[in-house]
Amino acid sequence: MIRLSCAALLLSASAALAYPVTVKSCDREVTFDRAPTRAISNDSNLTEMMLVLGLRDHMVGYTGISGWKTLDAEMREGVAELPELSAKYPTKEVLAGAEADFFFAGWNYGMKVGGEVTPETLSPLGIQTYELTESCIHIGPKARSSMEDMYADILNLGTIFNVEPKAEALVAGWKAQLEQATQGIDRSAPLRVFVYDSGEEAPFTAGAYAMPTALIEAAGGVNIMDDLEKSWAEIGWEPVVERNPQVVVIVNYGDVTAEQKIAFMKGNPAFAGIEAVKNDRFVVLDYVEATPGPRNIKAVEKLVAGFWGQ
């Protein structure tokens, strides 16, 4: 006969009483009758949200990292015991084959509008989906990017997995750290900032709904493309030259290094008049810092240092 301690019984009872729970996921209300036990996350930043909440034991794997990015030491340690089930976007067969019961992904973060992997296509397989808040702009209107997007995802994951105290403590700590990092910034004349993700013929950049816009604003700058009513998008170089950024933020990932992106901008005569290029003012953010996740506060700290020398 298996005998459970009183503490174990109380813990089990309290977990059972916590459910069902309902969270908002983009334009859907999603109800969970229990904490997922076979979760899969897509992309490095979403995976780190799961890990920072201590949810590795609830996961059976992750997807969508090595096909585009390399894992740094912190990330490698975090997922050491978990398999990568797909180097890029997973198929329904991959998720079903892992017997997943939960997929943490986003639009253009593991799912595509009209694609084969969506909340609607996964539901018949018994897989519930929570969508990254930043990505909701791809399926309907939402507020501009803000730090609250990342906080909301952490708090919702806390609710889904019954680790709300941990989630609330993390968010409170990040808010305090952010306040400390940004105190004393003169916001009367924000620095003009351009986000350079990738592309030489036409740059891929962050618009009003992408996380870097919120990070830049928190650090006392303004994204020169914050009137672009998209999250991430390809644009022309003309508006970049015309709007003359004082700082360029480089998103570092993929085959083209941050150093190569900087060299491209500094070596192109068309950009010689841009203040950021003339004054060699570049700030490098790793992909996991520039997309919603636990490293966003560190990203703001790097931006503050790069913008104001603090």
Model pLDDT for residues 135-153, shown as the tens digit of each residue: 999 999 999 999 999 999 9
- Determine, yes or no, domain membership for 274: yes
Helical H runs in 59-131? Answer: 73-78, 92-97, 119-122
Pair (171, 243) in one structural domain: no
242 lies in the same domain as 162: no
Q: Give the per-residue pLDDT at 191.
A: 97
Tell me the pLDDT band of 168, cut-offs 50, 70 and 90.
Answer: very high
19 and 127 within one domain = yes
**In the block, residue with structure tokens 């940004």:** 182
pLDDT beyond 50 at 113: yes
Domain co-membership, 164 together with 296: no
pLDDT over threshold 70, residue 16: no
Q: Is there a domain that residue 7 lies in? A: no
Is 27 a residue whose pLDDT tops 60?
yes
> 273 with 242: CB under 8 angstroms?
no
Looking at residue 306, its pLDDT comes to 96
pLDDT of residue 10 exceeding 90 = no
Look at residues 106, 128, 110 and name the one whose alpha carbon lies nearest to residue 38. Answer: 128
Chain centroid to CA 156: how far? Answer: 14
> Of 129, 153, 175, which residue is a domain's last?
175
pLDDT at residue 15, rounded to an integer: 61
Query: Is residue 8 included in any domain, yes or no?
Result: no
CA nearest neighbour of 95 among 138, 56, 124, 69: 124
Q: What's the rounded mean pLDDT across residues 231-237? A: 97
Same domain, 210 and 170: no
Under the banding of pLDDT at 50, 70 and 90, the label for residue 1 is very low
DSSP sequence for 55-74: -GGGEEEEESSTTT----HH
Q: What is the dihedral of CA 163, 179, 287, 156, to 10 degrees?
A: 20
Paired strand residues for 252: 286
Is the same domain home to 238 and 288? Answer: yes
pLDDT band at 292 (very low <50, low <70, confident <90, very high): very high
In this structure, are 210 and 250 located in the same domain?
yes
Is 139 in the same domain as 22? yes
Whether residues 193 and 294 fall in one domain: yes
User: Looking at the domain assignment, is residue 6 inside a domain?
Assistant: no
Q: Give CA–CA dist 28/22, Å, rounded.
A: 10
| Whole-number pLDDT of residue 76 | 80
Domain membership of residue 25 (yes or no) is: yes
Q: Which of 155, 175, 195 is a domain's end point?
A: 175
Total domains in the chain come to 2
Residue where a domain stops, chosen among 145, 175, 205? 175
CATH number of the domain residue 217 falls in: 3.40.50.1980
Task: Examine residue 120 and state whether it is found in any structural domain, yes or no.
Answer: yes
Please say whether the beta carbons of 103 and 110 come within 8 A.
yes
Q: Which domain holds residue 67?
A: 13-175
pLDDT tier at 3, thresholds 50, 70, 90: low
Question: Residue 253's pLDDT is what?
Answer: 93
Q: Return d(Cα 206, Cα 291) in angstroms, integer.
A: 10
Q: Examine the pLDDT at 217 and tell me if it is beyond 80.
A: yes
Residue 2 in domain: no
Q: Are residues 259 and 228 in the same domain?
A: yes
Q: Are residues 192 and 295 in the same domain?
A: yes
What is the residue-averaged pLDDT of the chain?
94
Residue 12 pLDDT > 70? no
How far CA 39 is from CA of 62, 115, 155, 194, 283, in Å, comes to 8, 21, 17, 36, 35
**Omega before 20 cis (within 30°)?**
yes
In a domain, 181, yes or no: no
